[in-house]
Amino acid sequence: MTLTLSQDRRSFGGSTQFYQHFSQCCQAPMRFSLYLPPQAAQYRVPILYWLSGLTCTEENFISKAGAQRFAAEYGLLLVAPDTSPRNLGLAGEDDRWDFGSGASFYVDATESPWAKHYQMYSYITEELPALIAENFPVDATRQSIFGHSMGGHGALVCALRHPSRYQSVSAFAPIAAPMSCPWGETAFRGYLGENRQTWLGYDASELVKTSAWEGPILIDQGEADSFLGEGQLLPERFEAACQQAGVDLRLRRQPGYDHSYYFIASFMEDHLRHHAEALDCF
């Protein structure tokens, strides 16, 4: 798999980089950003994947979250993929901001015309990790995942479905019960069809009830988040499911914070420390 480097900027003793490659899973060009910490010049480092939210690209997190400073301190390689394939010429691809381009929901689509290209779950859990392991000085046995909103949903799903693969998981304002919110219902119906049994495999509030996940889950949720009031995020459903399953959920409700990267940057250090501890970075 050939990588094309488009940007390389020095940052906190390491390097912030942007790449493009052709994805076999998605049968389309895909992009991701990456932070290579200074420790990678001396030894193989653990990997922390970030999944972004609706409308975002590979640029939002790496340019706004303030994560490089802490990744350099802890020796974490950060990877932030784009949120969907783009510019495919599919009917309806760019008609809505919450479906199609920038809105993959990190599922493996089964419905036409999305199924050929929108294989984002397999891309995130299989193809991208193989690409990173092949091209960068990483310890592929030490990896964790986190994300925001739609990406928080994706991170929780990946971790709960692969509890032995990820050492830790966290999320900012995740879409925690997508089967029960307007965004999720629209996406799942469009990508996965009408059979709600199929949807269960991509709903964290359902998956946590039967997952073998054993570690703590950290979630930050802003109490001034407008999408919380609109019934899109539903953290209370995930909280109840974790209580039922006996999973250690650390759900922190943050007064006055909204859904933006100002919120994310405010608590980024806590999340990177959460992952660094699980990845044995100290």
Is 52 an active-site residue? Answer: no
> Which of 149, 168, 205, 211 is flagged as catalytic?
149
> Which of 117, 148, 153, 259 is flagged as catalytic?
259
Q: For residues 211 and 225, what is the distance between their CA atoms, to the nearest angstrom? A: 29
- Nearest by Cα to 246 from 222, 214, 218: 214
Is 259 an active-site residue? Answer: yes
> Which of 108, 203, 220, 225 is flagged as catalytic?
225
Q: For residues 140 and 118, what is the distance between their CA atoms, to the nearest angstrom? A: 25
Q: Which contacts of 210-215 are long-range, i.e. CB under 8 A and separated by 24 or more positions?
A: 210/245, 211/160, 211/161, 211/163, 211/245, 211/247, 212/163, 212/164, 213/159, 213/160, 213/163, 213/169, 213/247, 214/163, 215/167, 215/168, 215/169, 215/248, 215/278
- Asked if 222 contacts 188 with a C-beta cutoff of 8 angstroms, the reply is no
- Nearest by Cα to 156 from 113, 92, 213: 213
- Asked if 202 contacts 157 with a C-beta cutoff of 8 angstroms, the reply is yes
Active site members: 149, 225, 259
